């Protein structure tokens, strides 16, 4: 029986806020990798971007992390990691990958002196791999001038590997063919088809919330409750939003007022 390569999937992004579509990326990527027969997905990591990314309307990292935690309450294989957003400054995705790859190797290797006693132990399992999980829109940004360094793109696809989930209006094959680096390492890029198109952009969520419209069933109930309780993304939210509830949005969310924030 051939042993499958253990894989951990890492998704980076704003998660402002996390939506069901982000969560779907993980599910379809895992199904796809399993169906290749080559991989065993052993975990998923969501790494919200640092506040210093300075993206417009970016809610504070502690809120974004708390929302991801709430969204993952029911998942037994995906977790949130705060290392990236706890850094003093924004950092390139490749550095986040390096960090988690290092952590992964360390967590799976036997304590102290990996060379000792390996001769008698069973055949070493395949080395675990960390792969960068993204939507096809991210693949497209590889072409945006000055957004990514070429050597970083190369390291991502050469050393780690990419799992890219298709989205409506994107042609990931063309993005690969249009880039010499991506084309060279295309064996390390897994294109996954999402069988169910469900375009929930966080931008749409924020604008719907600003207009007092329902976003129920687009993101987990517990996240919606958190957004309401902390008055995030309402029209007047930045600081002064105390007490001003969105009028008319009386949707009774069943979620708890304050949920435990400890990750499993």
Partner 1 sequence: MEDPGKTEVVLLACGSFNPVTNMHLRLFELARDYMNGTGKYRVVKGIISPVGDAYKKKGLISAHHRVIMAELATKNSSWVEVDSWESLQKEWTETEKVLRHHQEKLEAGGCDRQQDSPVLERPGRKRKWAEQRSEVSQKKSLEPRTKGVPEVKLLCGADILESFGVPNLWKSEDIAKIVGVYGLVCVTRVGNDAQKFIYESDVLWKHRANIHLVNEWITNDISSTKIRRALRRGQSIRYLVPDLVGEYIEKHSLYSSESEERNVGVVLAPLQRNTADTNSNPTV
- The residues of the shown chain that bind partner 1, judged by CB under 8 A, are 20-21, 23-24, 27-28, 30-31, 74, 168, 195-201, 204, 213-218, 221, 248, 251-255
**CA–CA separation, 55 vs 163, rounded Å?**
25
Q: Which residue has the tokens 């990292």?
A: 61
Q: How far is the CB of 143 from partner 1 (least distance, A)?
A: 24
**CA–CA separation, 208 vs 205, rounded Å?**
5
The size of the chain, in residues, is: 264
Cβ nearer to partner 1, comparing 171 with 217: 217
Per the CB < 8 A criterion, the answer to whether 39 and 49 are in contact is no
Which of helix, strand or coil describes residue 123? coil
Q: How far is the CB of 249 from partner 1 (least distance, A)?
A: 9
Q: Which residue has the tokens 């990798």?
A: 33
Cβ nearer to partner 1, comparing 155 with 194: 194
The number of C-alpha atoms within 13 Å of 40 and in the hemisphere containing its C-beta is 10
Q: How far is the CB of 63 from partner 1 (least distance, A)?
A: 21
Cβ nearer to partner 1, comparing 72 with 157: 72
Q: How far is the CB of 32 from partner 1 (least distance, A)?
A: 9
Q: How far is the CB of 151 from partner 1 (least distance, A)?
A: 35
Cβ nearer to partner 1, comparing 156 with 166: 166
CB neighbours of residue 137 within 10 Å: 15
**CA–CA separation, 7 vs 111, rounded Å?**
21
**Crossing angle for the helix pair 61-71 and 221-229, to the nearest 10 degrees:** 150
Cβ nearer to partner 1, comparing 238 with 256: 256
Cβ nearer to partner 1, comparing 138 with 192: 192
Q: How far is the CB of 37 from partner 1 (least distance, A)?
A: 13
């Amino acid at each position: 029986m051939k042993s499958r390569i253990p894989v951990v999937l890492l998704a980076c992004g704003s998660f402002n806020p996390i939506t069901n579509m982000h969560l779907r990326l993980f599910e379809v990527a895992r199904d796809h990798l399993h169906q290749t027969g080559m991989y065993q997905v052993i975990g998923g990591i969501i790494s919200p971007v640092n506040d210093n990314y300075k993206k417009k309307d970016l809610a504070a990292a502690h809120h974004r992390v708390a929302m991801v935690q709430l969204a993952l309450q029911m998942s037994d294989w995906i977790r949130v990691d705060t290392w990236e957003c706890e850094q003093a400054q924004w950092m390139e995705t490749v550095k986040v990958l390096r960090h988690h790859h290092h952590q992964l190797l360390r967590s799976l290797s036997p304590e102290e002196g990996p060379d000792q006693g390996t001769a008698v132990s069973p055949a070493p399992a395949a080395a675990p791999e960390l792969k960068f999980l993204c939507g096809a829109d991210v693949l497209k940004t590889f072409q945006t001038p000055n957004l990514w360094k070429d050597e970083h793109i190369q390291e991502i696809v050469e050393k780690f590997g990419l799992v890219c989930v298709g989205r409506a209006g994107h042609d990931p094959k063309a993005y690969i063919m249009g880039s010499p680096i991506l084309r060279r390492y295309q064996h390390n890029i897994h294109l996954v088809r999402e069988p169910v198109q469900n375009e929930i952009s966080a931008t749409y969520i924020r604008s719907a919330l600003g207009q007092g419209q329902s976003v129920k069933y687009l993101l987990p109930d517990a996240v919606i409750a958190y957004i309401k309780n902390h008055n995030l993304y309402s029209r007047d939210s930045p600081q002064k939003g105390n007490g001003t509830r969105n009028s008319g949005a009386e949707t009774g969310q069943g979620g708890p007022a304050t949920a435990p924030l400890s990750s499993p």
